[in-house]
Amino acid sequence: MLEVVRAGALTTIQDLGRFGHAHLGVPRSGALDQSAHRLANRLAGNTPDTATLETTLTGVAVRTLRAVTVAVTGAPAPVRVDGWPAAWASAVHVPAGAVLDVGAAVGGLRSYVAVSGGIAVEPELGSRSTDLLSGLGPAPLRDGEHLPVGKALGHPVRTDLAPCEGPPRELVLPVLPGPRNDWFTDAALRTLATARFTVSPHSNRIALRMNGPALERAVHGELASEGMVIGAIQVPPDGRPVVFLADSPTTGGYPVIGVVPESRLAAAAQATPGLPVRFTLLRTRERALKSSRLR
């Protein structure tokens, strides 16, 4: 078991996500920064689908009731074990009864805490992920609660340097236009490709919302609800683009001007309010696939 000493602003349990249920209206969910989630699990000796803790901005503190190995990745943050400094992005031994304290992020937004054996809450629809939109999965952590830990099956990775991407100073998102880009004027597409946006403080695990110029519509009628994918850029009536993330709905009624390839969304997990955002248009599907391979 882990005892939650300090839950932080928002700490959730996440794995790779809840696949195969979009036709039932169930979002994918899962870790927003999949790269950081996978790296933390690898360092702790877990498989990639093992559940981790995803913190938001202010970190988390837990007491271990048995000796475990942990690894903290994602947004850089101070890591302490019973008050003593410990390594970030490295396997760290935490003795039984000690408190692991992950402090506030010094860059980026979300840190990932992997524990050898993983967070072993009961899965729902094949995943242990917290889904803030549908309410599936475990609730966000609360002070004083206890979390089950699974049996460690692998061996921690000991390394002096774990390569991981730092928080972005500017978020650059490639965009494959469509399927409803014809609902917008040519000027709107130019604005999307050339204007500088910033991340709105109203962003969350559901969507990355933008502050910036409005995108002008060419068609002003109503659009019937249609299927949505992670990375879809919806444009609501105020004209500011909204990029769908892991907890986003599976349908929507606002036109989608373009889609960001999912492999390029990991950096969006670390996008703090006010961060500059730039969109670059991909003209063909082949370029989008090439962008994904180069990630």
Quote the domain boundaries for residue 13.
2-147
164 within some domain? no
The last residue of one of the domains, among 114, 147, 180, is 147
Residue 157 inside a domain? The answer is no
- Mean per-residue pLDDT of the chain: 92
CATH number, domain at 192?
2.40.100.10
- For residue range 123-134, list pLDDT tens digits in order: 999 999 999 988
Which residues are within 8 A (CB) of 51 and not within 5 positions of it... i.e. 6 or more apart? 13, 14, 15, 118, 119, 120, 121, 128, 129
Q: Are residues 66 and 186 in the same domain?
A: no
- pLDDT per residue as tens digits for the range 128-185: 999 998 899 999 999 999 999 999 888 888 776 667 777 788 999 999 998 999 999 9
Instruction: Give tens-digit pLDDT for 268-291.
Output: 999 999 999 999 998 754 444 444
Please give the average per-residue pLDDT across 214-238, as a whole number: 92
Number of domains in the chain: 2
Handedness of CA 6, 29, 37, 152 (dihedral sign): positive
pLDDT at 20 over 70: yes
Q: What is the model's pTM?
A: 0.91
Residue 152 within a domain: no
In a domain, 154, yes or no: no
Q: Note whether residue 200 is domain-resident.
A: yes
Average pLDDT value for residue range 232-246: 96
